[in-house]
Structure 1
Amino acid sequence: MHDGRPVGPAEGRLAPDLNHDHVITLESNPHREVETMSRTVTVGLDGSPESRAAAEWAAREAQLRSLPLKIVYVPEPLPKHLAQAPLLGPETHQRWTEQMPSESAEGIRLRHPGIEVITETLTGTVADILCEAAGSADLLVLGSRGFGGMGGFLVGSVSLAVVARAERPVVLVRAGEQAADEHTMDPAGVPSAATPFRPVVLGLDTDHPDDTLLEFAFDAAVRRQAPLRAVHAWPEPPTSFYRFPGDAELYDSLEREHAAALAEVLRPWQQKFPGVHVVEASRCGSAAQVLVNAARDASLAVVGRRIRTGSFGAHIGHVTHAALHHITAPVAVVAHG
């Protein structure tokens, strides 16, 4: 994927000043050519608790990757009825627009010494701006709200739209996510960011394995020095509902067959990343439920999204949709062909 070193500026251009705040106003234009920039970890910030948690996670990820952190702030237009209020008018809104990203960046610099932080304030349709920002980033990080109805997480329409359209990895981080949540407990049973990382969990379709998805997951495990748990689900045989004679033998045969298929897909990647301890988990059951259960103790869950072109537009598969709504850990959605 890459060797983790920062990439310098494009030839013939000057590198930006370290930790410089850029206020750039751009109208969203899907036909505008995206400027080629140095690689970054980019986070969408709107001032909400979930976006602030996403910014902290993105800062830690930028340090793991030895890359700058870019904070992209897309202010919402001020409603007309508020624009006329003396205390909440355009001037107050403008000050907030200017201060919020710069203050957030300064806080990150204090909590993560040595990290390069760049801020951009952009105007336009939020989903369009974030998709453009993702195009020039190693990955884009967004916040996801807390629990909603039926025990699942609330994933906003903007986040879902970006996940469905972006062609670079997008990570969704829950409100309240802390660094210690990604690590094992210390010997006293106390949460700690100084202990080893919890496993990286990869949801894998052995019938259609993709190199982009596999490389992202192995790379994430290497950077965290964490084990990689590769999860594959296979459906229960139809005869199991009727308890025919020989069902046990059929089940055992299918179990061995699917375990062998998973091992075959992973073998070349284990050779490429020999330092990663891989746990192969081939389970019978619903793919979505198997993955959600396997990711209960994950530091990061990694799922794929097939890029589809056609009249039906962007699409998020049901397994990825379930991961976004039911996995507590940060979820990386990796688009692939």
Structure 2
Amino acid sequence: MKIGLIGTGRIGAFHAATLHDLEGVTDLVVADADAARAASLAASLGVRAAPGIAEMYAEGLDGVVITAATSAHAALIHQALDAGVPVFCEKPVALDVPGTLGVVERAAAGSVPVQIGFQRRFDAGYRAARRALRSGELGWLHTLRACTSDRTPPPAAYIPTSGGLFRDCSIHDFDILRWLTGREVVSVFAQGANRGASFFADGDDVDTCAALLRFDDDTLATVTATRYNGAGHDVRLEVCGSKDARFVGLDDRAPLPSAEPELSWRRSAAPYATFMERFQDAYVTELGVFAEVAAGRAPNPCPPADALEALYVAEACDRSRRTGQPVAVADLRTAAGNGGTAPGT
């Protein structure tokens, strides 16, 4: 299987190394707007760098992985579909609803799969919590508590193109809550704050946020995120039911210094520092599944329509934190001309 990879920055280099070692991938070709960076990555892995994206497709790819700048995602997905090549694209599909809708509609009308990268769906802890909930072991669900906390903030130059904290970070929580519960978010109330560097406010963003979500079965969820979690990179989910509960991310490397005098569990001296450390195994599994999807041996586990639903929730949260008012997610969907309810509801 010949796979192309577009975008050789941090996550691109990480995915390229995974693809290089992936069973069934016999040829890997990388490309980047920065040709020198692509050549350097190719040399480090012993693979080839294409002089451009068009030249890459001319070789006849079996699949393409898009890890370029967010602003280029939608155009690159359309280009891959024009070439008839199965696509894996890191989230988000696009920074806005119209751009995402364009990809959703194009993908739905075609026969080539487009898989969006929400790696938490492939994390062992989240999958175990989902099985426990869906089996009825937890009883009926009443509360979900999710957090995504970066250890250190990104560079200032990243913020104006990131889409904001809800779209960039919390969107992972919005997606995994939908995937885990099988329910839709109907309303949100969100707040944001800036206690850190001024470049967040300068970029019309916040460095910390919190949102209250109500689902269509009246389950409540809190979602928090921050760019300044000094203890380490903290991503967890508490799934609380009437009979039992599950806690995702509560492992030895979770950055949870206890205030209690005694601990009953072992705590690593090296807590997670980055999202790539926290989800390394999930990323590898995710790309392995994409190889199966591209080969026609597995169904698409995360189509663009799912990414659109998570984006609607993120958009609603951003509107709520700006207005100080609750926001119905259906209002965002209606404004986009996509009806008032999520697909299948």
Scaled by the length of structure 1, the TM-score of the pair is 0.29
Larger radius of gyration: 1
